[in-house]
Structure 1
């Protein structure tokens, strides 16, 4: 335990699980159970995470869906341990041009509706990971989800609440969504069983497409082709009819079958920094992940006492560091951009020197080598001192952490030392109208692009929107940790305090996940309508009066959220010297669980 850190609470909401066989942690207990079942049947971490990932489509349909996207990061048991990225973020369709969106009378990409759909990438990415790193047949991995889709799963309270908020939209404008989610016009309630017959048929089609091939890789590729052809055909045909979008107007989607069939998920090299003797690995600047790396690099040059989120000075330092890193994200990150200079020691040192004793109220990207980045419009958002309102996030996460939709996460580690973290998202049931033949909708990830060609994250056909999905690996020569959380722009912000508490403060994983969280809102929101709240900070109430008053005394505009309202972190890890595995999961919302032995 670092002398510079506040000791953890004497209790945790649950233990950090330990064992030697296998561990899974996710944002929903059913997905965790499905993943652990694959391990028990002899599968490895990749079989397990794929099985759990498909289950998440059913159990958290307001947080992710088959028509969405994902980012994963993993390391196999092979030496040397090398982090790799699973790229499941589809790009903009060929018809998604700035000129077309402007001709539709738009200044921003809408936050809901098929016009905002990127090419769906999640399912192809899951299948690619299974093909290259799993060992089980596709039919076995999909069998739990097919069974749940046929027999039904209980609707969570948060999913039911989401349906309550969008019921009017469904009834008035999206009848196909009303037919699926409001059967006979009735509003489903917490615990009601929901069945997904169309999606079950589609998954059975994948299994049938794979069945004739004796070679496992060929079989899975046949399933991938069936998926792309079917989804592309049905989505393009259905969404070509104009329908209501979040700007209040009706638009037709531009996605075509050829967009979907041309997409392939892939593996990429990870971007890394060193922090306190460890390697922290993220996806590249087509995600927001390198912003966490920049923040860690800045903080690595400071003494321990300035890194404690439970003390006023530490909370202030973390918030100001995040504001600098997120400003760089908004000015410089985008698909195909080389932003490696942002992680170089001279640049990091210069940014560290910009942390002052008072809260900055300016949006302050850096100027590496004298280069000025993109300057988005600064549209002021709302935040009250006691902010329990619903706002905008992923796709509608309030500044206080309350949600109408969000994301999900799953981590798995196995007895051989394979470890993987995946953050699936998009295709939320409230994203766009349900496609009847598929039983799900497409996502709205294009809302993260700008209708300004000068932006590194401008809308461009074939370019990936700069996603907020951002799982993390932390590695040493003999250990590995996978961690992540839902939360849109807050994902790296909620991971950072937990990582600091574990890597510097000596907290156990469950202690770090349970500890009170905070984040800044002084960044350009990645989601429609893309606002910015100067000097905004949100804290869980139980962080304490000393921290809240200390932040306010330094000029921060502090919104106090509920005691257990920020973050849904999950994590797993392995000590390769001893074979010891561990797992921890977030108690907030009472759905996330870890399992293992």
Structure 2
């Protein structure tokens, strides 16, 4: 099969991500003796700088890792919870039916910093100063703006100029939208990270002591104090059309810490796939796998209508279950065991017919009927909302065609991803997101914006994902890991919001069932379905739509239409942002490493040797 680039093969180390600078940063750490944890953390902090339209320091990250020394898989939950002031009844009393999509109100505790540093402390070897040095360097000295950053700034420049003046100071140098390729500096962010490093070094002489001191700076020191003050004192215009102050307070940050958990797994042939718990959408990947165990996919080519149809219909069922049953297991009884029960999944699979399902149907679990949210809330919200500054994830406005580099529709990357495997066999997959430049105003003293992850909750009472103080929103962020024949094998993932566990699943099946190598499985024509309420404001529901790349055979497109799918044909290279790394032993017992990355958007890269 034609590929855009070769599958990378090596023995020393491999890295892949959604931006070449993060990938090369991670590989540079490996080259200088760091392990996969050091490399992933350094690359993750670089992503905050070089992909600011898709993530930032005020965001979140779920992480999956395999530790070769302990022979164990673990998940790090870097999804922060809702503030203590996030009372859905109080918000409804103000006339809100949904949490706004932008502004300060939807912010959770920013969990990325704590999650990255927890993994670094417990498994890394490098110092805090060393892993932060690349990100500080790019922020202080400048990094090249990819076209989508310039497009994102262009789309919200009016918001910045008229309302979010601190964001204008950060992203509109000399009052102008910066051009693609220009070097852009973030000196305030560089100062924030430098201050954290210097404070940590003054408090401890040990590597782990400095990392703990840095987390104390963030969650109980000057960072938490600045976030508290800004959220208390700064009314910010949001999608309600009004100005609101934020809900996040110092105590919310001071009382939080990331958790390290056992991931959720499901067996599929030779493979065992691991995902984060039901506080993420990760289990829907496993639900789809369980439904497709006996679907005979090996008999259908990856570009055939049968292959696409069966996977699309399994996704519809899993998405319906996500809507009805997924939520923070600390606040609502987890139905995970029932959702992954082989008999339940077989019964769900039996409902997949030859024609496209036209309705959204969640399953009954343990005698309990599913409860779906009020899906008309989006229509009512949009009737009075201010949509001038955008919808969706990330929340971007429509792009005005005013320059030669902004004539095309904005291609949204929706988050970041990074995978690393080192020469010892340690593996990391992480999907950082949130706190992108258009989510909320830049906090002037810190140089970064807060996330808006609470827009993924419901204000309607009684749902598993109803907003509550201290409760994690059910995030779309969803890295993946797989064992093969019981041995650690692959880390992979993609940006994409609601598409993450659709694009990742199809990639995995093309690789595991059809034997495509990593790059072939990434480059192969892709698609996604819409058949659920969107996870991001204004939570609009679209049913029975499949968006599919035009590289599929015309016969496949027609056959899907004949099966009743509403087919929306996109550009040749419009679906998926996958990256992946794998490891296996050869006949002599040597560790062979492989990697691939997405060519769509001309930004993601894999490297290794």
TM over 0.5, shorter chain: yes
571, 574, 577: which is aligned to 2:580? 571
Whether the aligned pair in 2 keeps the contact of 1:110 and 1:116 (CA below 8 Å) is: yes
Q: What SS does the corresponding residue of 2:156 show, helix, strand or coil?
A: helix
Whether the aligned pair in 2 keeps the contact of 1:306 and 1:313 (CA below 8 Å) is: no
Deviations 1:286-306 (A, max 9, x none): 000000000001101221346
Partner of 1:392: 392
Partner of 2:361: 364
Partner of 1:509: 518
Task: Give the Cα–Cα distance (whole angstroms) in 1 for the partners of residues 91 and 590 of structure 2.
Answer: 56
Once the two structures are TM-superposed, the CA of residue 379 in structure 1 deviates from its matched residue by 4.3
Please, what TM-score do these two structures have when normalized by structure 2?
A: 0.92
444, 454, 457: which is aligned to 1:446? 454
Partner of 2:297: 304
Partner of 1:583: 595
Task: Give the Cα–Cα distance (whole angstroms) in 2 for the partners of residues 316 and 91 of structure 1.
Answer: 37
Once the two structures are TM-superposed, the CA of residue 184 in structure 1 deviates from its matched residue by 2.2
Sort the Cα spacing of 1:301 and 1:380 in 2 relative to 1 into closer, same or farther, 3 A: farther
Q: Within the alignment, does 1:348 sit opposite 2:345 as a pair? A: yes
459, 462, 466: which is aligned to 2:467? 459
Q: Within the alignment, does 1:32 sit opposite 2:23 as a pair? A: yes
Could you list the structure 1 runs, at least 4 aligned residues long, displaced by more than 6 angstroms after superposition.
none
Partner of 2:43: 52
Whether the aligned pair in 2 keeps the contact of 1:393 and 1:525 (CA below 8 Å) is: no
Q: Within the alignment, does 1:128 sit opposite 2:96 as a pair? A: no
Could you tell me which runs of 5 or more consecutive residues in structure 1 were left unpaired when the two chains were aligned: 1-8, 383-389
Sort the Cα spacing of 1:402 and 1:345 in 2 relative to 1 into closer, same or farther, 3 A: farther
Task: Give the Cα–Cα distance (whole angstroms) in 1 for the partners of residues 364 and 111 of structure 2.
Answer: 34
Task: Give the Cα–Cα distance (whole angstroms) in 2 for the partners of residues 401 and 585 of structure 1.
Answer: 23
Q: What SS does the corresponding residue of 1:533 show, helix, strand or coil?
A: strand
Q: Within the alignment, does 1:166 sit opposite 2:151 as a pair? A: no
Once the two structures are TM-superposed, the CA of residue 374 in structure 1 deviates from its matched residue by 2.4
Sort the Cα spacing of 1:308 and 1:523 in 2 relative to 1 into closer, same or farther, 3 A: farther
Whether the aligned pair in 2 keeps the contact of 1:270 and 1:282 (CA below 8 Å) is: yes
Q: Within the alignment, does 1:91 sit opposite 2:45 as a pair? A: no
Alignment of 1:2-151 (within 5 A): 9=1, 11-78=2-69, 81-151=71-141
Once the two structures are TM-superposed, the CA of residue 500 in structure 1 deviates from its matched residue by 0.5
Partner of 1:236: 228
Q: Within the alignment, does 1:226 sit opposite 2:226 as a pair? A: no
Once the two structures are TM-superposed, the CA of residue 276 in structure 1 deviates from its matched residue by 1.4
Once the two structures are TM-superposed, the CA of residue 402 in structure 1 deviates from its matched residue by 5.6
Partner of 2:267: 274
Once the two structures are TM-superposed, the CA of residue 146 in structure 1 deviates from its matched residue by 1.1
548, 554, 558: which is aligned to 1:549? 558
Task: Give the Cα–Cα distance (whole angstroms) in 1 for the partners of residues 554 and 488 of structure 2.
Answer: 37
Task: Give the Cα–Cα distance (whole angstroms) in 1 for the partners of residues 282 and 129 of structure 2.
Answer: 33
Q: Within the alignment, does 1:338 sit opposite 2:323 as a pair? A: no
Whether the aligned pair in 2 keeps the contact of 1:448 and 1:526 (CA below 8 Å) is: yes
Once the two structures are TM-superposed, the CA of residue 217 in structure 1 deviates from its matched residue by 1.4
Mean Cα deviation higher: 238-247 or 455-464: 238-247
Once the two structures are TM-superposed, the CA of residue 397 in structure 1 deviates from its matched residue by 11
Partner of 1:385: none
Could you tell me which runs of 5 or more consecutive residues in structure 2 were left unpaired when the two chains were aligned: 380-389, 399-407
Whether the aligned pair in 1 keeps the contact of 2:530 and 2:544 (CA below 8 Å) is: yes
Whether the aligned pair in 1 keeps the contact of 2:155 and 2:397 (CA below 8 Å) is: no
Sort the Cα spacing of 1:564 and 1:69 in 2 relative to 1 into closer, same or farther, 3 A: same
Q: Within the alignment, does 1:154 sit opposite 2:150 as a pair? A: no
Mean Cα deviation higher: 277-286 or 477-486: 477-486
Once the two structures are TM-superposed, the CA of residue 543 in structure 1 deviates from its matched residue by 1.5
Task: Give the Cα–Cα distance (whole angstroms) in 2 for the partners of residues 305 and 43 of structure 1.
Answer: 40
Partner of 2:540: 531
Deviations 1:111-160 (A, max 9, x none): 10100101100011111110001001111111111111110101110010
Whether the aligned pair in 1 keeps the contact of 2:97 and 2:460 (CA below 8 Å) is: no
Task: Give the Cα–Cα distance (whole angstroms) in 1 for the partners of residues 428 and 562 of structure 2.
Answer: 41
Q: What SS does the corresponding residue of 2:267 show, helix, strand or coil?
A: strand
Whether the aligned pair in 2 keeps the contact of 1:522 and 1:535 (CA below 8 Å) is: yes
Task: Give the Cα–Cα distance (whole angstroms) in 2 for the partners of residues 209 and 449 of structure 1.
Answer: 36
Q: Within the alignment, does 1:470 sit opposite 2:460 as a pair? A: no
Q: What SS does the corresponding residue of 1:131 show, helix, strand or coil?
A: helix
Sort the Cα spacing of 1:397 and 1:251 in 2 relative to 1 into closer, same or farther, 3 A: closer
Once the two structures are TM-superposed, the CA of residue 201 in structure 1 deviates from its matched residue by 1.0
Task: Give the Cα–Cα distance (whole angstroms) in 1 for the partners of residues 65 and 295 of structure 2.
Answer: 29
409, 417, 422: which is aligned to 1:409? 417
- How many matched pairs? 579
Task: Give the Cα–Cα distance (whole angstroms) in 2 for the partners of residues 268 and 548 of structure 1.
Answer: 42
Deviations 1:80-125 (A, max 9, x none): x322101100000000110221133211011101001011000111
Once the two structures are TM-superposed, the CA of residue 369 in structure 1 deviates from its matched residue by 2.2
Task: Give the Cα–Cα distance (whole angstroms) in 2 for the partners of residues 522 and 561 of structure 1.
Answer: 17
Whether the aligned pair in 1 keeps the contact of 2:156 and 2:397 (CA below 8 Å) is: no
Partner of 2:384: none
Partner of 2:402: none
Partner of 1:386: none
Whether the aligned pair in 1 keeps the contact of 2:439 and 2:450 (CA below 8 Å) is: yes
Deviations 1:257-283 (A, max 9, x none): 111122111211100000112100000
Task: Give the Cα–Cα distance (whole angstroms) in 2 for the partners of residues 492 and 465 of structure 1.
Answer: 17
Once the two structures are TM-superposed, the CA of residue 248 in structure 1 deviates from its matched residue by 1.7
Whether the aligned pair in 1 keeps the contact of 2:391 and 2:538 (CA below 8 Å) is: no
Q: What SS does the corresponding residue of 1:297 show, helix, strand or coil?
A: helix
Once the two structures are TM-superposed, the CA of residue 396 in structure 1 deviates from its matched residue by 5.2
Partner of 2:429: 421
Partner of 1:327: 320
